[in-house]
């Protein structure tokens, strides 16, 4: 296989606690993000390389394996001393069988036995996890959710996903497909979602949802800083531009985010009534709008959920960024974790 080591960037953050490391891989459609993690959940070394997804599943799995070797050689750690390898990947997938059924960002993937292929080559235990679940587990163990026992994470980005921790355990569901929060119906007569349903949370609380709400105001001819920010942005209208304008005091941008926040609040009320979590953690690019999104969401959820479940519910932003998925994928090999 070809391994473009020259294109890899790796950096040893701190050369300590090198015993009992776990290799952690976040497999995306464009990049593989990888790290060695110690038993305290600290990242010892990290690197990123291109996935080369177009070359097929066997090639990508070989790249995952070579990335583990590369991390170990850069740290002067023997591969056979690793406690295990955790892989986070967009699903649907089955963590117990170690099979990725298919993956939206990995063309041609169909029932790929990623765990078996990697275990055979590395002679180490391998655990796979849905990337949104890995992200939630990372935030639960080491980020915003630290200290809670019941927590729900929501990622608001291109899509809307999440993960559920109940009584300290990640909820997978019968087929490992739980926590598809993006596809809970928020508006029975709403716009069509990519999944085929109408009015899913993802239609409203995703980056496209923010743009749609803003576009509606632009069509009404409102005066807004978004227009000049769009002109200076090569990508035009984005959820980031709307958040930027809102932070600059632009009322229409704030109203667009408030509308998204109200739909998000409907979703949060449903989640709160079902799971009664202590905390809801919001991550992803759309959550970058901060209070302009969270406050309307909190108000709307208070109007809809049982007082007992909503009174003490904390709605906070995620803390770990991209590291959450890496730490969560390593979790099966960390001590005292779910």
Residues forming contacts to Zn ion in the complex (CB under 5 A) are: 183, 193, 195, 197, 200
Phi, psi dihedral angles at 53 (to 5 degrees): -60, -30
Cβ proximity to Zn ion: between 190 and 290 the closer is: 190
Supply the minimum distance, in Å, between the C-beta of residue 200 and Zn ion: 3
| Nearest-approach distance from CB 190 to Zn ion, in angstroms | 10
Q: Based on CB atoms, which residue is closest to Zn ion, 200 or 320?
A: 200
Q: What DSSP element (H or E) covers 81? A: none
Closest distance to Zn ion from the beta carbon of 25 (Å): 28
- Minimum CB separation from Zn ion for residue 197, in Å? 5
Tell me the two tokens of residue 137: 């587990």
Q: Take residue 120 and report the two structure tokens written for it.
A: 């055979």
86 contact partners, CB below 8 Å, separation of at least 6: 22, 23, 24, 25, 126, 127, 128, 129, 134, 328, 329, 330, 331, 332, 333
Q: Look at residue 323 and give its three-state secondary structure.
A: helix
Cβ closest to Zn ion, residue 136 vs residue 200: 200
Name the minimum Å distance from CB 263 to Zn ion: 13
Q: Which residue has 């169909």 as its token pair?
A: 110
SS3 316: strand
Closer to Zn ion by Cβ: residue 200 or 327: 200
Nearest residue (CB) to Zn ion, 71 versus 200: 200
CB of 79 to Zn ion, least distance (A): 41
- Of 193 and 334, nearer to Zn ion (C-beta) is 193
- What is the Cα–Cα distance from 34 to 164, expressed in whole angstroms? 24
Q: Of 48 and 183, which CB lies nearer to Zn ion in the complex structure?
A: 183
Task: Give CA–CA dist 126/118, Å, rounded.
Answer: 7
In the complex, minimum distance from the CB of residue 195 to Zn ion, in angstroms, rounded to a whole number: 3
Cα–Cα distance measured from residue 231 to residue 225, given in angstroms and rounded to the nearest whole number: 10
Nearest residue (CB) to Zn ion, 8 versus 183 = 183
Neighbouring-strand partners of residue 9: 48
Q: Distance (Å, rounded) from C-alpha 187 to C-alpha 212?
A: 15
* Closest distance to Zn ion from the beta carbon of 211 (Å): 17
- 244 or 270, CB closer to Zn ion? 270
Distances (CA, A) of 12 to 22, 37, 229, 299, 307: 15, 11, 39, 44, 48
**CB of 239 vs Zn ion, minimal distance in Å:** 18
User: CA angle at residue 115 from 113 to 117, to 5 degrees?
Assistant: 70
């Amino acid at each position: 296989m070809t391994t473009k080591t020259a294109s890899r960037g790796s950096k040893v953050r701190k050369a300590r606690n090198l015993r009992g490391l776990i290799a952690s891989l976040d497999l995306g459609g464009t990049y593989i993000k990888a790290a060695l993690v110690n038993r305290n959940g600290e990242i010892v070394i990290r690197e990123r390389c291109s996935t080369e997804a177009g070359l097929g599943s066997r090639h990508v799995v070989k790249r995952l394996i070579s990335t583990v070797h590369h991390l170990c050689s850069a740290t002067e750690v023997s591969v056979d001393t690793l406690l295990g390898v955790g892989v986070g990947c967009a699903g649907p997938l089955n963590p117990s069988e170690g099979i990725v059924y298919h993956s939206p960002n990995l063309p041609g993937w169909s029932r790929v036995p990623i765990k078996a292929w990697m275990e055979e080559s590395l002679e180490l235990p391998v655990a796979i996890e849905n990337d949104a679940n890995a992200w939630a587990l990372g935030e639960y163990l080491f980020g915003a959710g630290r200290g809670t026992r019941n927590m729900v994470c929501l990622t608001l980005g291109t899509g809307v996903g999440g993960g559920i921790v109940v009584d300290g355990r990640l909820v997978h569901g019968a087929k490992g497909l739980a926590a598809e929060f993006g596809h809970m119906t928020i508006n029975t007569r709403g716009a069509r979602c990519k999944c085929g349903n109408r009015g899913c949370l993802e239609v409203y609380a995703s980056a496209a949802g923010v743009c749609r709400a803003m576009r509606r105001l632009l069509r009404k001819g409102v005066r807004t800083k978004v227009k000049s920010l769009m002109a200076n942005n090569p990508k035009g209208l984005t959820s980031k531009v709307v958040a930027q304008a809102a932070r600059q005091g632009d009322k229409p941008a704030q109203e667009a985010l408030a509308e998204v926040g109200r739909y998000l609040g409907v979703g949060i009320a449903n989640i709160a009534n079902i799971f009664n979590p202590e905390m809801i953690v919001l991550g992803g690019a759309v959550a970058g709008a901060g209070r302009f999104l969270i406050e309307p969401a909190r108000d709307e959820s208070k109007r809809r959920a049982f007082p007992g479940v909503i009174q003490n519910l904390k709605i906070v932003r995620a803390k770990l960024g991209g590291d959450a998925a890496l730490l969560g994928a390593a979790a099966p090999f960390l001590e005292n974790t779910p």
